[in-house]
Amino acid sequence: MLGSLIKLKLLCVVALLPSTLLANELHKVEVTDSNNYQSIMPVAAQEISLKQDPALVAYVFERAKFANVTEPQLFIEVMDWVASQWQHDGLNEAPKGMSSLDILKAVHQQGERYRCVEYGKVMADILSAMGHHSRQIGLQSTDVAYGGWGKGHVATEVWSNDLNKWIFFDPQFSIYAQHNGEFLNTHDMYLLKQQGKYQQISFVVTNNFAKANDVNLQEYYDGYSAFLGNYFGYHVSSQLFNDKKQSTVLLMEANKPFLTFQGMGANNTKLFTKEVDIAYPKLNQTFFAMSALPNASGSFQSVMQQHQIKSEQDYLDNMWRFAAQGKIKLSLYNNMQQFSHYSLKTEQGKWLELQSAEYIWQLQQGDNRLEVRSISKEGVRGPITFVEASFQ
């Protein structure tokens, strides 16, 4: 639902008869703009569930002070904190099943240093425990199967409700990516590379990390850009299929699936796809079905008979008598995990908390706008879905 919004050519003809209007005037309700479109039924996305981990949150909050509670600045601050916890060691693998809390304790108490894999995991788990969908992602070169050493990298992607998209973060380097001021995910960067615009990407390193590591910014940017450019063959994430955790692999520069990683086999199987929407599902969406309510003052058949409507012109001349009234009924749906309730706003009014999934929208004369979003049990607000309608 990003990009240019297409005009909905749906016309609902309605009539309302306030005292200031003539009784025989036809007033139309027209949807003029909306992003309320769907391609599948609104069911919960099969993304790895949010991880409830109060012990991890408590441990981090004892050591970190995040100034911003709104995204994406919160995500940047969490990345910056994770990046500063240990120095990278590409050979020290955390034991299988080791939690992010245990990784941090090993770092702080034993001076352990870990790989990009652990950076990506810890950042994703912290944000997930705070109620934000986040995931550890693998980025792999086209020759990952037998190309030798160093053919994969691990980072983090976080779902932004405010931007209605996934955003890329690399906590090993404390870097995120932008193009023309817009936050990017991995697939965005791949598309820009395909278009010959990869060098236009702005890789942004956090100030705290740059100062602590005495970073020469230009050298750092150039080095990171060249480094990351090697890993747009495959995008690997984890999702749930039939309640089973499964690796989903999106082919980007690569043209066929791979079976081995740097020559080695693995017990975990992979599902391959070329469909971006599968690898990048839209989360926390709100949808609504809608219809103008009927005019209760008279039925269509009775008006037809009473006024002897026999031609199309007769029909148009008398439409005001039976046209739908200036009220729109909404039925709300969502695909938010840990859903709590809906929040709705019309025109310049305040947000209203709705405990019901039904709402009657009374239109005012002129242009009207309605916005609705889903709220999670953690208080995280989903993206806004809107519709604009004219009544005149």
Cβ–Cβ contacts within 10 Å for residue 232, how many? 22
Name the residue type at position 45: A
And the tokens for 88?
């990278």
Count of domains for the chain: 2
Q: Are residues 270 and 297 in the same domain?
A: no
For residue 355, CA distances in Å to 100, 165, 261, 332, 348 come to 36, 27, 49, 11, 21
Q: Are residues 274 and 288 in the same domain?
A: no
Within a domain: residue 48?
no
Q: Are residues 195 and 341 in the same domain?
A: no
pLDDT at 23: 55
Nearest residue to 286 (alpha-carbon basis) of 10, 42, 12, 18 = 42
Is residue 275 classed exposed, middle or buried when 0-12, 13-18 and 19+ CB atoms within 10 A define those classes?
A: exposed
Name the residue type at position 373: R
d(CA 270, CA 107): 31
**Secondary structure of residue 375 in the 3-state scheme:** strand
Please identify, among 253, 279, 305, the residue that sits at the C-terminal boundary of a domain.
279
pLDDT at 309: 82
d(CA 154, CA 62): 27
3-state secondary structure 305-337: HHCCCCCHHHHHHHHHHHCECCEEEEEEEECCC
Q: Are residues 274 and 290 in the same domain?
A: no
Q: Are residues 79 and 129 in the same domain?
A: yes
**Secondary structure of residue 118 in the 3-state scheme:** helix
Please identify, among 258, 279, 300, the residue that sits at the C-terminal boundary of a domain.
279
Please identify, among 279, 307, 342, the residue that sits at the C-terminal boundary of a domain.
279
Q: Are residues 291 and 335 in the same domain?
A: yes
Within a domain: residue 175?
yes
pLDDT at 46: 56
Within a domain: residue 49?
no
Q: Are residues 245 and 336 in the same domain?
A: no
Is residue 316 classed exposed, middle or buried when 0-12, 13-18 and 19+ CB atoms within 10 A define those classes?
A: exposed
Which CATH number belongs to the domain containing residue 116 in this structure? 3.10.620
For 215, the domain range is: 54-279
Within a domain: residue 4?
no
* Prior bond of 72 cis (ω within 30°): yes
Q: Are residues 240 and 374 in the same domain?
A: no
Q: How remote is the C-alpha of 42 from its chain's centroid? A: 14
Within a domain: residue 68?
yes
Instruction: Provide the whole-model pTM.
Output: 0.81
Q: Are residues 289 and 271 in the same domain?
A: no
pLDDT at 124: 96
pLDDT at 31: 63
pLDDT string in tens for the chain (392-residue length):
333 333 322 323 233 334 344 556 766 545 678 776 544 444 444 556 678 899 999 999 999 999 878 899 999 999 999 999 999 999 999 999 999 999 999 999 999 999 999 999 999 999 999 999 999 999 999 999 888 889 999 999 999 999 999 999 999 999 999 999 999 999 999 999 999 999 999 999 999 999 999 999 999 999 999 999 999 999 999 887 767 778 889 999 998 888 888 888 887 888 888 989 888 988 899 988 988 888 776 667 777 777 788 888 888 888 877 777 788 898 999 988 889 999 999 987 899 999 999 999 998 888 999 999 999 999 999 999 999 988 87
Within a domain: residue 134?
yes
For residue 348, CA distances in Å to 324, 344, 368, 371 come to 26, 11, 10, 10
C-alpha gyration radius of the chain: 26
pLDDT at 216: 94
Nearest residue to 32 (alpha-carbon basis) of 54, 13, 7, 51 = 7
Q: Are residues 265 and 320 in the same domain?
A: no
Cβ–Cβ contacts within 10 Å for residue 19, how many? 4
Which CATH number belongs to the domain containing residue 360 in this structure? 2.60.40
pLDDT at 259: 86
Assess contact for 35 and 369: CB atoms under 8 A. Answer: no
Within a domain: residue 244?
yes
Q: Are residues 140 and 180 in the same domain?
A: yes
d(CA 368, CA 84): 49
* Chain position carrying tokens 């995500």: 75
For residue 151, CA distances in Å to 231, 263, 306, 350, 373 come to 7, 11, 79, 51, 41
pLDDT at 297: 67
Q: Are residues 63 and 210 in the same domain?
A: yes
Assess contact for 164 and 3: CB atoms under 8 A. Answer: no
